[in-house]
Chains A and B, each alone.
Chain A
Amino acid sequence: MLVVEHLAKNFGTLKAVQDLSFEIKDGEILGLVGQNGSGKTTTFRMLLGLMQPTAGKVLWDGEKIGEKQKDMIGYLPEERGLYPKETIEQQVMYFGKLRGKAPREIKEKLDYWMEHLQVKGKKNDKIKSLSKGNQQKVQLITTLIHEPKLVILDEPFSGLDPVNAQIMQDAIIALRKQGSCVIFSSHNMANVEQICDRWVMIKDGRQVLAGKVQDIKDSFGKIKVFLESPLTTAEVQAVSGVVAVKERGRRLEVTLSDPAAGRELFELATKDGYIPTFSQETLTLEEIFKLKAGEKDEL
């Protein structure tokens, strides 16, 4: 289990990360989201022991992460890179041995992973001869070959086509089944929503949201209504508690200030009986993210 307590990092006067606290139990996946420059990479670097925090601590099973713990970490950096002149096997062997694995074990595992991730190529193919997608798969293999207990993935989905993104997603879910702690950052809220158990959002180094995905969604309440009825936009806007109305084809997307306002809207819409759509929902993570980030255009 990974526990992060009041983690902070200053670079001179710049407060890169402030008072970050969360925990990941074994077999849980945590998504770390935030805009560019919000402090995700700095947070990862502190988790990895590459940087010393200004304050707070990172504990793995109650102990600080030191040399001893490094063999159980798997890390996939955001910018991908492998040694282009090396073969797949040399590459995986090197990283595996650096995590304290015996060459024989690595060889066995490599065959499994090559097949499992459908890497197109032979073990003695040079990295530079592989397609980008296959290079990314090889890098994922180097991250997971030593069966890490704590897996840190920085933007694992960036640059992947839908097929490879699915393979990546399956690999992450498989890690959860093995009982590993997984933490990953992503810009793609759909991925986060589908596979995360917990969610931490940071903005300008501060933690703005943290918790289980469903809890966070519930905390915002069901303030979104998709409506298809005889009511016009103006008529909907006139209802008290309606914050915004957007036309989405024949449907209206209504944002409420309070979930209770949905009842009044429903009664108004159904005063003449049947309507095709009335759906009151929680916000999606993407909407929550945008709401919290305060910048609707970006993403």
Chain B
Amino acid sequence: MNFEKLWVIASDVYRKTVKSPSFLIGVFMPFIVVLVGFLIGAIMDKGQETTTIGIYSKQPVLAKALAQQKLPALKLKQVDSVKEAQKQLQAEKLDNYLVVTKKDGELLSTVYGEKVPDDATMANLQQALNSLQTSLKAGEYKLTSDQVAELMQPAKLEGKELSFTDDGKVKTSNDSSGVKFALSYAACIFTFFLVLTYASLIAQEIAGEKGMRIMEVILSSTNAKTHFYGKLLGVILAALTQLVATGFLLGVSVFIMRDNGSLNEMLANLNFTGIEPSFIILLLLFILAGSLFYAVLAALCGSLVSRAEDAPKAIMPVTYLMMAGYMLGLIVATNDPSNFIVTICSYIPFFSMILMPIVLANGAGLMGASISLVILVFSTLVLAAFSARMYRVNVLVYNQKGIWASLRQSLTMLRKDV
């Protein structure tokens, strides 16, 4: 292998790939999807009108105390009489009105209106009334504000993950399955599109070079192995760039939106503390090794056809395999991660890069994942070595009878060591 020429080929592939529209789409797509999601969310938030509710009580103190409470999407307004409330309701200044009475130290309230408010509004009102009643009771029992706070303290409930170390000790950690699951799910989708993009790119390029006889010129400059590995190196560098670019953009968008309430709320709900670095590293390794595996396969398929137009047909088997893994991952594994077929397939190189992260997120051991990764890497190396040998012969075979005929012809030539 000539490393100088390997680099010439790799950097050429890299330059072309990074400039291609599919690369740019690949980098920006996740953000476009998220952005559209946020926009739709924002539009829906806007569309939700604030419900204005009038509060009347024979004891104006109660009405005043209630009106002072701040509730989401709800405006509470003290009114002086039921008549006044009805008038305002008719004038559509109020959506509903609430009559609060106090009997035997308990609050009895009724909401009136042309329509009873929706469940969310009712729940909010209920909460407001609850806290009002609590503070009234607290006053009656002469409780200090600290005591009230103590009373209001909800009971704690949390989940802990249990794992067993090799020496039989029990280890607990915070529950992070939700985040892990989301990450592996995202990785599954990301890998799928990454692989599809690069598989078609590399197959197209090789078939095109073969069809235009550029291949013969290249192979008279350097050997097939250097060309094959150069192509792969270029594609892997491009995939890495996409990973880094996506990560960078993700960081930038989180930074820009750091003041966004709903994002903070979402992040606060996620438990990142239980995400071990090993999980993230395994995830990235699976993405990389998986992309490489499929890139090798796509390159091999691409070298079997004689024209760029035939490349999509050539990588059809690759696409189907990928699709099968994706379906298994998204449909079966997400619902039933311990499914027998999923477990088996998470060790098979064609599917493991998609399935193993999901299985791992659902509590499978690191050991299993590492074994699966080793199998994937090893198969990639074997496949690459075999493909490089095939490639040398393939690129000189111009068989019009289809991919399988080409494959047979190549194998025969390989055996006779042409």
Contacts and interface: CB of A to CB of B under 8 A. Distances in A.
Note whether A and B form a binding pair: yes
Interface of A: 11-12, 45, 48-52, 67, 70-71, 73, 75-83, 85, 94-95, 97-100, 142-143, 152
13 contacts: A45-B396, A50-B396, A67-B2, A77-B217, A78-B213, A81-B211, A81-B214, A82-B212, A85-B16, A95-B217, A95-B221, A98-B9, A98-B222
A24 B4 CA distance: 31
A98 B417 CA distance: 26
Contact of B220 (A48, A78, A83): A48
A154 B223 CA distance: 20
B188 to A, nearest CB: 32
Interface of B: 2, 4-5, 8-9, 12, 16, 208, 211-214, 216-223, 396, 412-413, 416-418
A50 B220 contact: yes
A62 B105 CA distance: 113
Contacts of B217: 75-77, 95, 142-143
Given A50-B219, A67-B222, A99-B221, A81 B396 contact: no
B216 A48 contact: yes
A90 B403 CA distance: 32
Given A51-B396, A51-B418, A79 B213 contact: yes
Across the A-B interface, give the 9 residue pairs with the lowest CB-CB distance, nearest first.
A81-B212, A98-B221, A77-B213, A48-B220, A97-B8, A79-B213, A75-B220, A77-B216, A81-B213
A181 to B, nearest CB: 15
Contacts of A49: 220
Contact of A52 (B2, B8, B417): B417
A45 B416 CA distance: 17
Nearest to A42: B396
Given A100-B4, A100-B5, 11 more contacts: A11-B418, A45-B216, A45-B396, A51-B396, A75-B216, A75-B220, A77-B213, A82-B214, A83-B208, A94-B8, A152-B220
Nearest to B412: A12
Contacts of B12: 94
A45 B217 CA distance: 10
Contacts of A76: 217
Contacts of A51: 396, 418
A83 B9 contact: no
A193 to B, nearest CB: 27
Contacts of B16: 85
Contacts of A82: 212, 214
B213 A70 contact: no
Nearest to A49: B220
A142 B213 CA distance: 14
A213 to B, nearest CB: 27
A125 to B, nearest CB: 17
B220 A73 contact: yes
A97 B221 CA distance: 9
Nearest to B12: A94
B414 to A, nearest CB: 12
A98 B8 contact: yes
Contact of A98 (B216, B218, B396, B416): B218
A35 B214 CA distance: 24
A85 B21 CA distance: 13
Contacts of B222: 67, 70, 98
A52 B4 contact: no
Contacts of A48: 216, 219-220
A78 B216 CA distance: 10
A200 B413 CA distance: 28
Contacts of A79: 212-213
A248 B200 CA distance: 61
A152 B219 CA distance: 14
A80 B212 CA distance: 6
A216 B413 CA distance: 38
A96 B2 CA distance: 15
A67 B223 contact: yes
A95 B222 CA distance: 11
Contacts of B9: 98
A70 B217 CA distance: 11
Contacts of B396: 45, 50-51
Contacts of A52: 417-418
Nearest to A65: B220
A97 B217 CA distance: 13
A95 B209 CA distance: 13
B210 to A, nearest CB: 10
